[in-house]
Chains A and B, each alone.
Chain A
Amino acid sequence: MSISRRGLFGLAGGLAAASVAGCGFAPTSNGGAANNSLTFRWWGGEARNKAYQNALQIFTQKNGTKVDAQYSGYDGYFNKLNTEFAGGNPPDLFQMDTALVSTYAAKGVLTDLSQYIPNTIHLDTLYPAVRGAGAVGGKTYGVPSGSGYAPVLYDKTLFEQAKIPVPADTWTWDDFGRIAGEMSKALGQGKYGALDASKDDSGALQPWLRQRGKDLYNDEGKLAFTKDDLAEWFAMWDKLRKAGAICPPEMLANTDSAAGNHPLIAGNIAMTNGWGLAQMQPLTQHTLDIVLVPRGSNGKTGQALNGGVLLCIPVKSKNPEAAAKLIDLFVSDVDAIKAMALSRGIPPSAKALEALAPSLSAADKRDVTYAQYVADEVAKDGLPNAPTAPPGYNDAKTALDAAAKQVAFGKMSIPDAVAQYFRDAEAALQGAK
């Protein structure tokens, strides 16, 4: 048996036609089923995955819409998402990093959710401070599913061993330096009072700037502080570094994830910015606790509440109405809120906390009451809400990390590092527009 060249081409042509036809049919069949199903993608740990799935079951029971749940860890999440966006086939609803929402919104791939508010999505149930967490240029592209703030996490056991009083809610940056120095001395060689947080934008620099009536970024997506501010910031940490109150820069290698080799868990430092109890407490036998970031001399906390994570609907979502309903389930459905409890972060509404109150454990209660306290203190600050992180935020964050470490390692003078940061960060913010 032989296949002539013409025969071969005929066969190939037939195959091509079949596959083209396949392409033609596929979306139609999906479209037909669309009203009844929905793909929802998120990243999270085991607790969040379970919590979301419980909520999705409730959603299916109430609306009859099946949800195809797709979840993974944070690593590679956005790579995969980007590939799907590039291929024109994104999920119908997905979880978004608060810091990245404006980057995606600027590319025009997210649905403006204003059309679903307030009829489908009851945004006004949420705390006023987090309602705008997903707002970019006056439009709402994402709705927060939790609330977050960046406290100072400390090792209570180490403080007790050193017989030094733990930081009070009213502490200032001067107190921070003093306590860190005392702890360094008490803990002995190779151990330090606090982590060097000069590189931490949202956990340390932002509240410090807001205490002075400034912020990281303004509404136009430009830097909202001056070179002098940053030079003063670096100088403050440099002084603490030279006094041995904070850790040397070599110790910063393991500070990007909540793991056993984080210096706080390894017992090498007593305080760190930027981490909460929920991630770190399970990793150690020591008792940990949280306290507000040190206050400014005017008593302001400067804390910025953020939306934890956001839920967003791509423009190419095949079922945006059902996706909007699912968003509202997270926001205002009491059954779903009870099913998820705190495993998705602290729900950002009084309604949700009221519903949960009777069933919380003692540790959870500490988390919730402190969050409530922080929310009250933030309200007392009377500061404008922090603008959403602008497009190019990721690169600007990297630039701060780089400049701060150049100073910490003694490779650059403070003025040089400040100049480098402003050059790189401004280029990143400009280039992302």
Chain B
Amino acid sequence: MSDDSGVAVLDPPVSEQAAPPPPRRKRKRHKHNLAGYGFLAPWLIGLFAFTLIPMVYSLYLSLTRFNLLTAPQWIGFENYTRLFSDERYLQSIKVTLLYVVTSVPLKLAAALLVAVALNRGLRALGFYRATFYLPSLLGASVAVSVMWRQIFSRDGLVNQFLGLFGVQGADWIGDPRYAMWTLVLLSGWQFGTPMLIFLAGLKQLPQDLYEAAAIDGAGRFTVFFKITLPLLSPMVFFNLVLETINAFQTFTPAYVISNGLGGPIDSTLLYTLYLYLKGFGSMQMGYASAMAWVLFAVIGLFTAIYFWSARKWVNYAD
């Protein structure tokens, strides 16, 4: 895939970048940079004030006991060691991992499926594209989660529909066996963003390969798995990384659907929800900060694994 593919961020690093300029030119460059930073200033100030400084502060807080009302007390790594004897914490990890490994593939599969379907020269493509993207616009909003809660509640839409066939549906939100899957389904339904990226990728695939495949008499599935998917792998990779990070950080749907408690019996206690409950509910902000840093490390680890494995399955055109 070329540099202007829209996923330039993920292009192979270092080796392909221009070699560093010779030292003699450095001073001059520096001056140019100053103007650049000047223009960057509004964003830079935001980055420092609202991201980096709070992050560093939360790293400090994670090493303290901090109840929000009185000054933080230094306790070293106690918060981190306590984490792993906290059963609710371990439960939240279990729930979150389950959520990530089910919702991300579901969402990407749905996105790819719809993208492929939309790519076959439909009339009114723009309309369909917008329609399928709509759920993602409403995305993490409270309204959608409230609606989801209604749809899957005991007397909700789903059970009324099942009732037409004489089936008494379960209490999807209230039953710990199913509550989690309503969240996964909600995530899968919001496939709009990866779908748009897939669609953009599909439009760029070289047609000659398809023509050659048609001449060779390849079937639809062969074409998809031997041509489309390998060529699209940078898009799959990009979406996988982004959606995994998003899934780890999911908060709103679990908060709304479980009334902010992660129930029934902690079956929807996503990581960030537990973090919120600890920080603002129990006023253990130091502990919550430690949780945030562990999550940061875990997301970093997952991303690193993706990048490492990418060498084996992502095909860049060049």
Contact = CB atoms under 8 A, between A and B. Distances in A.
Can you list the 8 inter-chain pairs with the closest CB atoms, starting with the nearest?
A253-B174, A250-B174, A250-B171, A107-B69, A82-B68, A250-B175, A405-B265, A86-B68
A395 B282 contact: yes
Contacts of B174: 249-254
Contacts of B233: none
Contact of A85 (B69, B154, B258, B261): B69
Contacts of A78: 280
A104 B259 contact: no
B264 A405 contact: yes
Given A82-B69, A104-B69, A108-B70, 12 more contacts: A82-B68, A83-B68, A107-B70, A109-B69, A250-B170, A252-B174, A253-B171, A253-B264, A254-B259, A405-B263, A411-B176, A428-B282
A266 interface: yes
Interface of B: 67-70, 150, 153-155, 168, 170-171, 173-176, 179, 258-259, 261, 263-266, 280-283
A253 B176 CA distance: 10
A386 to B, nearest CB: 23
A82 B79 CA distance: 21
Interface residues of A, number: 33
Interface in A387-415: 394-395, 398, 401-402, 405-406, 409, 411
A257 B70 CA distance: 31
Contact of B264 (A86, A103, A190, A409): A409
A411 B70 contact: no
A257 B282 CA distance: 20
Interface string A36-63: 0000000000000000000000000000
A401 B281 CA distance: 15
10 contacts: A82-B280, A250-B154, A251-B154, A252-B174, A253-B258, A253-B259, A261-B150, A398-B281, A402-B266, A409-B176
A256 interface: yes
A279 interface: no
A394 B174 CA distance: 22
A82 B283 contact: yes
Interface string A250-276: 111110110001000010100000000
Nearest to B276: A79
A86 B69 CA distance: 5
Contact of A249 (B153, B258, B264): B264
A428 B168 CA distance: 41
Given A82-B69, A104-B69, A253 B265 contact: no
B264 A252 contact: yes
A394 B281 contact: yes
Contacts of B170: 250
Interface in A58-77: none
A137 to B, nearest CB: 17
B33 to A, nearest CB: 13
Contacts of A409: 176, 264-265
A254 B154 CA distance: 10
A428 B68 CA distance: 17
A131 B261 CA distance: 33
Given A250-B171, A250-B174, A395-B282, A256 B153 contact: no
Given A82-B280, A249-B174, A406-B265, A254 B69 contact: no
Nearest to B175: A250
Contacts of B154: 250-251, 266, 268
Given A82-B283, A257-B259, A411 B153 contact: no
For A85, A250, A428, the residue with the greatest tally of chain B CB atoms inside 10 Å of its CB is: A250
Contacts of B155: 261, 266
A85 B69 CA distance: 6
